[in-house]
Amino acid sequence: MSSSPERGLRALRAGLFAGALLGSATLAAAEPAFPGIGRAATPKEVAAWDIDVRPDFKGLPPGSGSVAQGQDVWEAKCASCHGVFGESNSVFSPLVGGTTAEDVKTGRVARLNDPGFPGRTTLMKVSTISTLWDYIHRAMPWNAPKSLSADEVYAVTAFLLNLGGVLPDNFVLSDKTMAEAQARLPNRNGTTTAHALWPGAKAGKPDVQGSACMNQCEAEPHLASILPDHARNAHGNLAEQNRLIGAQHGADTTRPPGAAPAAPAPAAAPAAPSPALALLGKHGCSACHASDSKLVGPALRDIARKHGTRDDAVTYLAGKIRSGGSGVWGEIPMPPQTLPESDARAIAQWLATGAKK
Ligand code: HEC
Ligand code: HEC
């Protein structure tokens, strides 16, 4: 949108011209084009929006930052989400990795053609450094977009490219050296407009063509929602993992689709379900815990196995149920739960004795 101020001026001139035709230029200038709807953006507002940087570097503000300065920005504002080396895939696919010195020479990332290579990092894909600069400038850090100064964006972009082996340790990235960095970008030659989907391209027709089916056609498209066999019980029994609110009934994934529920075991004194199970439902524990499989929290059987042998198992578990906690089973915390002490102890008792149904 680099041209929007000009466009604004043009519209203004057109308005004045129309006003002059009506013979009341002063009135037209004072009156908005759409009375009662909004107001014209101020030049400051337009400038705040007009921050895009083009591949020919138009729009790039003056400024600079070194790889070393970028490391400080990275560690303070980026590493918590993207990993110290840009390798983390916990919030997004990794930013750095998968590029080689040979790619820097050729401008084509060889591993993009290797189906065995796990994943596609940002540095493997990006073909214009302006995109990287622009994206960081407008969208990062995720929790505070547009908070970086231009110098910080130059610096942190330089650092990322240094991590990827694209820029040397002593590089200073600036509006003057962006072209030099672009000339080293690993996938700079990896994209093309010479294909039929690009407007005005001469490369023939797009490779996807809509042609009507002429024989042996399906009369109606067949839509179905099914779990493929291999995925059926991959995450435990879905029927036991429903949200507590609303009419959602997960399929019983322990048996083939459509099969009747296993016939109840004949006559052997039907074991009444443990009252603890009802408490788990009543207090919302089942939203995060299932008997035999991990959901958000660990499987109840695993909790029973891990802590059942402690001398103070009941006290420990009842305490943890009410206080919540983290770090015993992984990164995800369990929030404190509000339930009567007696219910917490009943559940703890049940867990401590093996969590049987
Ligand atoms: C709070 C977590 C968080 C922080 C901090 C953060 N990011 Fe991100 N970053 C994300 C998420 C989430 C995405 C994916 C956003 C999307 O796709 O909409 C992302 C995407 C990106 C991408 C785009 C990758 C691509 O291939 O599209 C870049 C580049 C990036 N971040 C750089 C940075 C830099 C540089 C910083 C520090 C100035 C930073 N991030 C800080 C969470 C974060
Ligand atoms: C929002 C999801 C969530 C809810 C709701 C929830 N839990 Fe948890 N629970 C977790 C997570 C996650 C952990 C693992 C925490 C950790 O690693 O320390 C956990 C751990 C536990 C543990 C093991 C603690 C330990 O130190 O090993 C017990 C016992 C437990 N939960 C019982 C309950 C009971 C009983 C309820 C209902 C009153 C409940 N949880 C509700 C997510 C939840």
Global pTM?
0.54
Give the per-residue pLDDT at 8. Answer: 45
Give the per-residue pLDDT at 154. Answer: 98
CA 293 – ligand 2 centroid, Å: 13
CA 140 – ligand 1 centroid, Å: 6
> Is 64-182 CATH 1.10.760.10?
yes
Q: Where are the domains of the chain?
A: 4-49, 64-182, 273-357
CB distance 177 to 171 below 8 Å: yes
Residue labelled with tokens 């004194």: 269
76 lines ligand 1 (CB under 6 A): no
Nearest CA among 271, 285, 297 for reference residue 357 = 271
Q: If the chain, 357 residues long, is cut into consecutive pieces of 10 residues, what is the mean pLDDT of each piece? A: 44 42 45 82 92 96 98 95 88 91 97 88 96 97 94 98 97 98 97 81 70 79 79 82 66 78 55 82 87 88 92 94 89 85 93 88
Give the per-residue pLDDT at 30. Answer: 57
Q: Are 64-182 and 273-357 equal in CATH topology?
A: yes
80 lines ligand 1 (CB under 6 A): yes
CA distance 160 to 162: 5
Structural Rg of the chain based on CA atoms: 31
- Which pLDDT tens digit goes with each residue over 237-282? 887 776 656 666 677 888 887 776 655 545 555 567 788 888 998 8
Residue having the nearest C-alpha atom to atom 25 of ligand 1: 122
- Residue 344 Cα: closest atom of ligand 2: 35
Distances (CA, A) of 68 to 76, 96, 199, 287: 13, 17, 42, 47
> Tokens standing for 53?
């940087």
- CB burial class (10 A; 0-12, 13-18, 19+) of residue 81? middle
Which residues line the pocket of ligand 2, CB cutoff 6 A?
Answer: 283-285, 287-289, 296-298, 303, 317, 320-321, 325-330, 332, 334-335, 337, 339, 347, 351
CA 172 – ligand 1 centroid, Å: 22
Instruction: Note the CATH architecture for domain 273-357.
Output: Orthogonal Bundle (1.10)
